[in-house]
Amino acid sequence: MPACRFILCEKTSRWAAALRARLGRSIPQLLVTCALPGCAEALAASPASFIAIEVTASNLESTLDFTCRISSHYPNAAVVALLSSEFLAAAPLFREAGAIDVVASALESPRIARLAQRHFAQAPTEQLTTRQFIAQRLPWPAHATNSAPPRSAAD
- What pLDDT does 57 receive? 86
CATH number, position 138: 3.40.50.2300
Domain membership of residue 114 as a residue range: 6-143
Please give the full DSSP string across 85-114, using - where no structure is assigned: GGGGGGHHHHHHHT-SEEE--GGGHHHHHH
Instruction: Look at residue 34 and tell me if it is in a domain.
Output: yes
Instruction: Look at residue 153 and tell me if it is in a domain.
Output: no
Instruction: Look at residue 133 and tell me if it is in a domain.
Output: yes
- What pLDDT does 127 receive? 66
Instruction: Look at residue 50 and tell me if it is in a domain.
Output: yes
pLDDT tens sequence for the chain (155 residues): 467 889 999 988 888 888 887 887 766 668 899 999 999 999 998 899 999 999 988 899 999 999 999 988 999 999 999 998 888 899 999 999 999 999 998 899 899 999 998 988 887 666 667 776 677 677 765 555 655 555 555 55
- What pLDDT does 44 receive? 92
What are the CA-CA distances from residue 154 to residues 147, 150, 151 (Å)?
Answer: 20, 12, 8
Structural domain count, the chain: 1
- What pLDDT does 19 receive? 86
Cβ neighbours for 43, distance < 8 A, ≥ 6 positions apart: 7, 49, 51, 70, 74, 77
Instruction: Look at residue 51 and tell me if it is in a domain.
Output: yes
Instruction: Look at residue 137 and tell me if it is in a domain.
Output: yes
